[in-house]
With several copies, the nearest count.
Chain A
């Protein structure tokens, strides 16, 4: 099958949805004339013209608010916030406008908006922030975090078609990652984890940029005779708890990997949810988390390497749970 980079897969998703549904439009900084600083909206301006592909001022709160209003009247906006590091300025519109409309109108109005944003664990203390845990905590929002080009395309199309607001996290490494991507339009259902690798010794849950890291670790562990089952939940809300619980019932061990900060991260919820599930009785070791230990992403590359979890940290965590009892 055809190989595409992640940014091409996302661009294809946008192009196809904009072609088949004229309610879909795109808004953000540098997305029109420039085609997006990561080239995700390349060519859209030429295809769909300036009324459907709009460059905005630096007004993230404002244009997210605009998207919400447009969505309430039946449009399907896709907005881009260039870095999750400054999604902070749009929190109110996301949490108080987008997330609450359906509820306060008891379904009489709703907000089918997609907010695409970029995470990376690189850059600096600002741009290196990965804040998916905030959105995960807010009823009314769906949270999507693809790990590869195939999922990226299918999940973006599903997100656009979804009737609820979706925060769509794109890891920078996704843009240059190559993968097989069908040409035709396809959707991936929310709440269906993908078992990336089967294994019977330990369950490793990872999402977004950490899936590749977990797979690498699993590969290395296989050489030591440890078979890790690597699961990518793909969407954090809704969350496919069932697949993970079943896996832990089988393996008795769980390691959760995310690049964002440990304290109050999504990994804590995954651990807590597994503890309060059928898997409790099967757990043979503590649940370990491999994450940013709670450090802002420093500018120096030397320092940065210490902060972001890599293959070695995952391998070490798995060895620890394997050594248990």
Chain B
């Protein structure tokens, strides 16, 4: 099944006003967290900076919102939203961004590839596309263990050009693994436009090559993402098989603060015309489910949480030197490591 237009499967999953407001808050939190992180990075308060998800917030929130405990996700380098939606706290992620002694990896890995087993988040690698087969394997385990849990694998348009994408989707389809592939197509891989990297319009069209449904979703519409993912999750849970969801989106910022922006100001400005937070906000206001005052309260709350968290994170010491040698293996090899 191939859809070459923006569309999504109908689903019975109903989002109540409360849910939508919660989704709005998650997106807003992610936006502010990212902005602050970039700011704090510029100020030297954070060591590395992150890959800003600004403009793409609807994808991680919409896809993860309906997950159940016991389900798993494997975020891309940019799916910051997966963490919030799966209840990782600001403090946890700031600790991770700092690599301090309270971070989940105790300074061994950065925030964007951090794993939180307690929250159903698998750690990814820096190798673009390399985590897609790992996510499929996690799904395989869940099925072998007799559960009806599912895995969501997030990755970018660029990752879909890696051999691992191909092998993973083919394996998932032929083994009917309960996994949902969510491609965050922001049209770029670092500085290279997708049009330079592939000769097709919709990555969703790749699904047919694995005998899998592929759908194009409006990645700026959190409800659309939610509904499509829910259908795909349902398909996965019931053992029918995996689905590829291509969420069309835009990267509103440069790839990473290390980079210079090559895109024209015009092109970047056009991205902002469809801000997922604005889109949901307008809808909620229209329905009367969220007022300007509510939003301001939310903003204030978030700002306060962020400030408390950074203060708290900055008070945490760095890991102790000896820790660098632990957890390479289950046991220390000592002299047997040569």
Contacts and interface: CB of A to CB of B under 8 A. Distances in A.
A124 interface: yes
A295 B325 contact: yes
A293 B192 CA distance: 37
Interface in A96-110: 96-97, 100-110
Contacts of A142: 329
Chain B CB within 10 Å — which of A57, A74, A273 has the most? A57
B337 A263 contact: yes
Nearest to A104: B109
Contact of B167 (A25, A61, A126, A302): A61
A307 B324 CA distance: 8
A96 B338 contact: no
B265 interface: no
B107 A303 contact: yes
A269 B338 contact: yes
B122 A300 contact: no
A86 interface: yes
B333 A237 contact: yes
Contacts of B328: 102-103, 139-140, 294-296
B232 to A, nearest CB: 18
Contacts of A140: 328-329
Chain A CB within 10 Å — which of B106, B129, B168, B328 has the most? B328
Given A66-B171, A72-B138, A300-B99, A92 B127 contact: yes
Chain B CB within 10 Å — which of A106, A273, A301 has the most? A106
A179 interface: no
Contacts of A163: 330
Given A107-B326, A164-B329, A65 B191 contact: no
Contacts of B292: none
Nearest to B74: A69
A73 interface: yes
Interface stretch (B158-166, B274-282, B299-307): B158-166
A288 to B, nearest CB: 14
A104 B108 contact: yes
Contacts of B326: 106-107
Contact of A105 (B104, B136, B162, B321): B104
A307 B126 CA distance: 20
Interface in A28-59: 29-30, 33-34, 37, 51-52, 54-59
B271 interface: no
B56 interface: no
B171 A59 contact: yes
A85 interface: yes
A123 B256 CA distance: 14
Contacts of A69: 122, 133-141
B327 interface: yes
B76 to A, nearest CB: 12
Interface string B219-240: 0000000000000000000000
Contacts of B209: none
A55 B191 CA distance: 9
A316 interface: no
A307 B107 CA distance: 13
Nearest to B137: A69
A287 to B, nearest CB: 14
Interface in B59-84: 72
A3 interface: no
A123 to B, nearest CB: 8
A261 to B, nearest CB: 10
B294 to A, nearest CB: 37
Contact of A299 (B107, B128, B133, B333): B107
A239 interface: yes
Contacts of A34: 190-192, 262
Contacts of B117: 105, 108-109
A71 B144 CA distance: 12
A96 B197 contact: no
B87 interface: no
B105 A66 contact: no
Contacts of A68: 133-134, 137
A75 interface: yes
Contact of B171 (A56, A88, A191, A237): A56
Nearest to B198: A57
B324 A306 contact: yes
Contacts of A237: 333, 336-337
Given A69-B138, A73-B72, A263-B338, A107 B318 contact: no
A65 B324 contact: no
A70 B337 contact: no
A140 B191 CA distance: 33
B264 interface: no
10 A-B pairs with least C-beta separation: A69-B137, A65-B133, A62-B167, A300-B107, A238-B336, A300-B99, A66-B137, A57-B197, A57-B161, A126-B126
Interface of A: 25, 29-30, 33-34, 37, 51-52, 54-59, 61-75, 77, 83, 85-86, 88-89, 92-93, 96-97, 100-110, 123-127, 139-140, 142, 162-164, 191, 237-242, 262-263, 269, 273, 293-296, 298-303, 306-307
19 contacts: A59-B170, A61-B167, A64-B133, A65-B132, A66-B168, A71-B141, A74-B141, A75-B141, A89-B162, A97-B131, A97-B134, A102-B327, A107-B326, A125-B108, A163-B330, A294-B328, A300-B108, A301-B47, A303-B323
Interface of B: 47-48, 72, 99-100, 104-110, 113-115, 117, 122-123, 125-142, 144-145, 158-159, 161-164, 166-168, 170-171, 174-175, 189-192, 196-198, 258-259, 262, 318-319, 321, 323-330, 333, 335-338
